[in-house]
Amino acid sequence: MKKPAAQKPFLPGVLDQLRNYAQLMRLDKPIGIWLLLWPTLWALWLAGEGHPDSGLFVVFVLGVVIMRSAGCVLNDFADRKIDPYVERTRSRPIASGAVAPMEALLLFVALALVAVGLATMLNRPAQLLAIGAAVLTLVYPFLKRYVSIPQFVLGAAFGWAVPMAFAAQTGEASQLGWLVFGTALIWAVIYDTFYAMVDRDDDLRIGVKSTAILFGDLDLFVIGGLQLLMLLALLLIGDMAELGFWFYASVGISAVLMIYHQWLARERQKPGCFAAFQHNHYIGLIVFIGIVLHYTFEPAVPV
């Protein structure tokens, strides 16, 4: 008598699928979380003048993780017919068949419900701005088929937590808040163009649009211009928020790092461009350290 085929034990099978879900959410690649988190923390510390509300800190950090995870899930669902043909993405859970598209949609809905729950803990101005964050999260994955500058939309999505943080902390998204948002948007275009340079050949072949394709041979030149614009915006933030030495030192270090990123990508080879993308995380960290050190050591100006 033929023996029945051995079934995979239940618990290891569940753990394997949870691992697939974690990979779908990019929890194994936290670089996106850091790139989204740093501008959010800039905003919380600036809006709170060095003393952000502890409850808001927890809500926004959790919100960063949840929204980035939800965005990754929706992005992979939208790209499920593209990813198998791109070298860097063909092993992603949906593209490889490890996660079914309907499973991904259900996971996205679950994450979105958690995000809604977090938004209910904020004040009304921040809740209204959260609608914009939801719209940007929904539309970005589909835009790269139709517009040549999807990185600008990604920048808006990654920076939208900034005006939300100002509104949650102070009751309004101030002029300073929108300046920080614009800075975060420019920064996202910079690092995501480096990222898009990795996939440029595959994107050209399958018809996906990006700033790396739009800028063409001028890519590093345009990125350099955006880097100068970001540095100028950071200086304006320092002036408007009356920040001191520690912040301006962090801007100077960021300028040196930007030069290093240009050097990494100088030959436009995939490893160098990807390293430049990942290394941008340190710019966000250093600017945040500069803000924290200012409020820690600079004496308050008497009114």
264, part of any domain: yes
Measured distance CA(200)–CA(86) in Å, rounded: 10
95, part of any domain: yes
Say how many domains are in the chain: 1
Q: What is the pLDDT at residue 142?
A: 83
Q: What is the pLDDT at residue 208?
A: 82
169, part of any domain: yes
203, part of any domain: yes
230, part of any domain: yes
Its domain, for residue 41, covers: 25-297
Q: What is the pLDDT at residue 50?
A: 94
Q: Would you call 259 exposed, middle or buried from its count of C-beta atoms within 10 A (0-12, 13-18, 19+)?
A: exposed
Measured distance CA(299)–CA(303) in Å, rounded: 12
For residue 146, give every residue at least 6 positions away whose Cβ sits within 8 Å of its Cβ, in sequence order, or none: 209
* CATH number, domain containing residue 144: 1.10.357.140
20, part of any domain: no
284, part of any domain: yes
pLDDT by 10s per residue, the chain, length 303: 445 545 556 566 788 889 999 999 999 999 999 999 999 999 999 999 999 999 999 999 999 999 999 999 999 998 888 888 777 788 888 988 889 999 999 999 999 999 999 999 999 999 999 999 999 988 888 887 788 888 999 899 999 999 999 999 999 999 999 999 999 999 999 999 999 999 898 888 888 888 999 999 999 999 999 999 999 999 999 999 999 999 999 999 999 999 999 999 999 999 999 999 999 999 999 999 999 999 999 765 554
Q: What is the pLDDT at residue 303?
A: 47
Number of helices (H), then strands (E), belonging to the chain: the values are 15, 0
Q: What is the pLDDT at residue 11?
A: 63
pTM of the model: 0.90
- Find how far residue 199's CA is from the centre of its chain: 18
Handedness of CA 20, 24, 30, 33 (dihedral sign): negative
Q: What is the pLDDT at residue 1?
A: 46
Q: Residue 118 half-sphere exposure, CB side, CA atoms within 13 Å?
A: 27
- For residue 303, give both structure tokens: 């009114």
4, part of any domain: no
CB 74 within 8 A of CB 109: no
Measured distance CA(299)–CA(59) in Å, rounded: 29
With residue 110 as reference, give the H or E element that holds it: helix 101-119
- For residue 47, give both structure tokens: 């809006």
Measured distance CA(75)–CA(150) in Å, rounded: 12
